[in-house]
Chains A and B, each alone.
Chain A
Amino acid sequence: MPPDLRINGFISRKSLLITDNSLVLLEHSEFNDRVKKIMHESIESIIVWKKTPWIKMTLTALILGGVASIPFIAGSGIDNPGTKANLLIVSVILVTLEVIFLLRKNVFIRINHAGETLDLSFSAYPWQVRKFVEKSKTSVERVQRELREKRNAASSGENSTEVEKDAFFVEEETTKDSAS
């Protein structure tokens, strides 16, 4: 099974893998990869946001669009239908490449875990990010639920009056006047 998310930056390359009990970040180098493991039970939140790279998009549209228009313009002055068709195909391929490139968005993922923050920023297609987030969310929630159930079962066996307190959740106590 390939990595769940590949991050190809300008200098560094990274891969994110979701395993049964952890989220693994591989920072690739020449002959070995640095492994960072984030246990599922310690993950507090996953925050995802996207930014549209307007400057990059404009430059890409201008440059690639300009290049794509050259065969199209050149084809209009040629009488041979075969050459004309070939130039049109080249133009269409270049425009398609441009559209594929323009679909990529700047994505930021912040994973808060055990009081620490892991920030990842990269360029990716929205569906790649959605798939990764959905998979990691499902996996983390499953592990945390299982562990919580296991812990609650163990604590209820030992002491039935013990109530688990979750430090991350703010507990607001509201009162109701049932008599009124």
Chain B
Amino acid sequence: MLTDLHTVKVAGFDCPSCHERLFMENSGPTICPRCGWRGEAYIMRALREKVESANDAAMNQAVCAFHPTKQAMAVCAGSGDYICSLCAVEMDGEVYSAGYLSRGGKKKLTKTFSRRLNRPDREMTVYLLLTLIFFFLAPVMIPLAIHRYFRALKLRKTDELFARMFSNLEAFVWGIILAVMTVLYTLGAIALIM
């Protein structure tokens, strides 16, 4: 007689060497029984977008632009359409419709998950190195380096990623280097003129 029903959760991943599906109950060191691959596997419980059954719209309620019988629950941040829970995709704190993302929103998708981080600190380093190699470029390069330094300081306040890449210590050290070079080149220029 079948009365008790148990559910056993087993997590799996593909062996990087032979692509055999390996199942394991606990994360940690593991060995592939087929090819002998050894490594550590940490299995996470990724959250999937939950597709719920959207509520049917009543007479006086706004309806989804893609499902005319379903009740709208959000406005797409990209297209402005009313969307139901079946179409809503949350991304970076905004709600977009699946239709928008698959149509013209791919740029938005790329922009959200892949972008470029400006590095004015590197530009500053290059200008300072050029000054060291070609000293006659100093009147142009040092003001440019100072400009990039202040841009970097400004960017540190607005961009968390840049703040991690250009730390307090780096900002301090580069400030000192820049100040010393400015003073030395100014004195050198005055000495040349005199």
Which residues of A are interface residues toward B (Cβ below 8 A)? 1-3, 15, 17, 19, 24, 26, 28, 30-37, 41-50, 108, 110, 112-114, 133, 137, 140-141, 144, 147-148, 151, 155, 164, 166-179
In the assembled complex, 26 residue pairs joining A and B whose CB atoms fall closer than 8 Å, in A order, are A24-B161, A30-B122, A32-B118, A34-B117, A37-B112, A41-B47, A43-B44, A43-B46, A44-B13, A44-B46, A47-B13, A47-B41, A49-B16, A49-B39, A49-B40, A137-B27, A141-B44, A144-B47, A151-B47, A155-B50, A169-B45, A171-B8, A171-B9, A172-B7, A175-B6, A177-B2
B contact residues, total (Cβ < 8 Å): 45
Q: Which of B40-60 contact A (CB under 8 A)?
A: 40-48, 50
Contact between chains at B40 and A133 (CB < 8 Å): yes
B23 CB within 8 Å of chain A: yes
Q: Given A1-B164, A31-B118, is A170 in contact with B10 using a C-beta cutoff of 8 Å? A: yes
Q: Given A31-B118, A175-B5, A176-B4, is A137 in contact with B47 using a C-beta cutoff of 8 Å? A: no
B134 CB within 8 Å of chain A: no
A144 and B40 CA atoms in complex are apart in Å by 20
A33 and B37 CA atoms in complex are apart in Å by 34
B1 CB within 8 Å of chain A: yes
A113 and B37 CA atoms in complex are apart in Å by 22
A4 and B176 CA atoms in complex are apart in Å by 26
